[in-house]
Structure 1
Amino acid sequence: MAATDPMLGGADFRTRLQNWLPKIVLAPSFAVMVIFVYGFIAFTVYLSFTGSRMLPSFDLVGFQNYERLFRIREWDTAVTNLAIFASLYIIICTIIGLMLAILLDQKIRGEGLLRPIFLYPMALSFIVTGTAWKWFLDPAIGIENTMHLWGWASFEFNWIKDREMAIYTIVIAAVWQSSGFVMAMFLAGLRGIDNEILKAAQMDGASTFQMYRRIILPQLRPAFLSAFVILSHLAIKSYDLVIALTGGGPGNATALPATFMYSYTFTRNQMGIGASSAVIMLMTIAAIMVPYLYAELREKK
């Protein structure tokens, strides 16, 4: 029997080590993610079917928490506010982001300065944004007081104190923070369009409006879809912006599902109901993300 070449054995060991080393290095991070992300998601789903109050309870009560949840008036208010906030937030951010991207795509002078200015708000946390806009919109110290000091005594802008209008102050602050990020996505899409197609359209006599309607905007479909998914995700889980800007008030006028979940879980000691509201939020995000991921994977195949 021929002896095994020690050089070949060493090469085989190095090959196996190179194959396994990335897996060994990533294994702890993967285990932590599985436990502290997906494990706690599964635990929250389980708690939503229990009678948990201040502390977790493992006595199953079926769908009672979900039935109670949809009978709570504050939950109805939170869902209505989310519908108003999310729809306006997504639509306005998309329109402003697209317009800013088209403006910068014209190779205007000062683009290098304007681009970071538009993107800067996204670098701030929602806590900072909410606090700054709270000062700006407060009638006692903000824009209303400034106008009064300038002599415009009849000027009023007290939306943040108005139960009917307070939710729109959340929209204003969120749009200010996210529009620049949406602009960056659309600008990347615009810069990726083949100029030869646009030149051919110009030679055929297409107007600027026709070029945008028939050529440019249809090719921005991935950017539109990505913006919708990201903004929807941000809208559904919005918590810190609301807390910093209005605290959910006045009264319960600006409560969202995220603030409702926190309140019932940690303030009112209704952990089961809080967990059920968190599961509803998770299902809503999944209803948006799963079709998007499916479409992306299908397109790649």
Structure 2
Amino acid sequence: MSIAKRLRGSLPLFVMAPSLTLIGVGVYGFIATTFVLSLTSSRMFPKFDFVGFDQYVRLFSNDRWHIAVHNMVIFGGLYMVLGTLLGLLLAIFIDQRIRAEGFFRTVYLYPMALSFVVTGVIWQWMLNPSLGIEKLLHDWGFVEAKFRWLVDPEWAIYTVVIAGVWQVTGFVMAIFLAGLRGVDTEILKAARVDGASPWKTYTRIIIPALRPAFMTVLVVEGNLAIKSYDLVIALTKGGPGISTELPSTFMYSTTFNRNDLALGASSAVIMLMTVAAIVIPYLYMELKDDKR
């Protein structure tokens, strides 16, 4: 084989080499470093004296971590369920070929164009008892009305749910709308000829056909929920107290505010494992479908 042919055959590798190197170092290299640090007793600075899984024992005996996980179950569960249902309903509504479809589609999708920080600040103003909904109701004459979820430790986590669902619903709508537009119209016509009601058409034909869209939505929502940090900081700053603490805020505050690098690294590893538990089955199913 001539040198020119060898060079042509190696050209894709040369082109991809810089990107692969950056990904290997900047992503997988730092993941490996984080895991190594979680096995040490590092505090403010890295210290490579391995102590086994002591940091993970400390993590799971930490009450603040338990609160963060409990809040994640509430936030993640409601965020995924409500975001998916509302997005699906909006997609079905727009799929009826309504007038000004482009306008409504843009309005519903617009919140996703905002950063989580902007979303958090907007909802902080709206839910603030002295500025937002409660003050508006008082100005309208409903002086006994109260809406103090933002300052109530038992309800504050639900304000994070409201803000998160508001932002993600339009994105979910766009995914489901694309799926609805891809359903075979001949099947739908045959169902109408057979006398199938709209309810049966959706529950037995259309929604089952949206399985790939559901998988995509749940994976994206799961990742966004687990990595939520800026939304919480902008909206509640983790408070009142630590009532809206999430694993992401726990990891940041432990690492940078309390100078406990190893404990923060161990919480980051647990978050990574949770994300992997969501993404890996999705990738497996996608690859399996491709092979079929």
Bin for the TM-score computed over the shorter chain: over 0.9
2:14 counterpart of 1:24: yes
Match of 1:216 in 2: 206
| Residue of structure 2 equivalent to 1:148 | 138
More deviation, 139-148/258-267: 139-148
Amino acid at match of 1:164: E
Counterpart position of 1:4: none
Aligned to 2:116: 126
1:226 to 186, 202, 216: 216
Paired with 1:118 and 1:22, the residues of 2 have a C-alpha distance of 41
For each residue in 1:50-78, what CA deviation from the matched residue of structure 2 results, as whole angstroms up to 9, or x when unmatched? Answer: 00001001000111101111111000000
The yes-or-no answer on 1:78 pairing with 2:68 is yes
Aligned amino acid, residue 84 of structure 1: I
CA distance in 2, matches of 1:30, 1:283: 23
Distance 2:134 2:228 in 1: 27
AA aligned opposite 2:214: F
Give the letter for the 1:133 counterpart. W
Residue 56 (structure 1) aligned to one of 25, 36, 46? 46
Corresponding position: 1:139 with 2:129: yes
Q: How far 1:209 moved relative to its partner?
A: 0.7
TM-score (norm 1): 0.94
Q: Secondary structure at the match of 2:245?
A: coil
Any unmatched runs of 5+ in structure 2? none
Query: Counterparts of 1:88 and 1:16 in 2: how far apart (Å)?
Result: 56
What is the SS of the residue equivalent to 2:144? Answer: coil
Look up the match of 1:100: 90
Of 168, 171, 190, the residue aligned with 1:200 is 190
Q: Give the residue type in structure 1 aligned to 2:96.
A: Q
* 1:243 matched to 2:233: yes
Q: Displacement of 1:143 after TM fit?
A: 1.4
Q: Give the letter for the 1:125 counterpart.
A: S
Deviations along 1:14-71, whole A, 9 cap, x unmatched? x544443343233212211110111000000000000000100100011110111111
Identity %: 59
The letter for the 2-side match of 1:243 is I
Structure 1 counterpart of 2:23: 33
Secondary structure in 1 matching 2:71: helix
Give the TM-score of the pair, scaled to structure 2.
0.97
Could you tell me which residue of structure 1 aligns to residue 157 of structure 2?
167
1:241-263 Cα offsets, whole Å, 9 max, x none, are 00000000000000000000001
- 1:139 is paired with a residue whose SS is coil
Write the distance in 2 (CA, Å) between the matches of 1:93 and 1:57. Answer: 43
Which residue in 1 is equivalent to 2:179?
A: 189
Query: How many residue pairs align between the two structures?
Result: 291
Alignment-derived partner of residue 67 in structure 1: 57
Compute the displacement of 1:140 (Å): 1.0
The counterpart of 1:274, out of the listed 252, 264, 281, is 264
In structure 2, what is the Cα distance between the partners aligned to 1:180 and 1:149? 31
- Equivalents in 2 of 1:178, 1:227: separation in Å? 10
Q: Deviations over 1:182-238 (max 9, x none)?
A: 001100110000100000111111111111111001101111111111100100111
The structure 1 residue matched to 2:247, chosen from 235, 246, 257, is 257
Return the alpha-carbon distance in structure 2 between the equivalents of residues 199 and 66 of structure 1. Answer: 57
Structure with the greater alpha carbon radius of gyration: 1
Q: Which runs of 5+ in 1 are unaligned?
A: 1-7
Give the Cα separation in 2 of the matches to 1:87 and 1:205: 37
Return the letter of the residue paired with 1:90. M
1:110 maps to 100
RMSD over aligned CA atoms reads 1.3
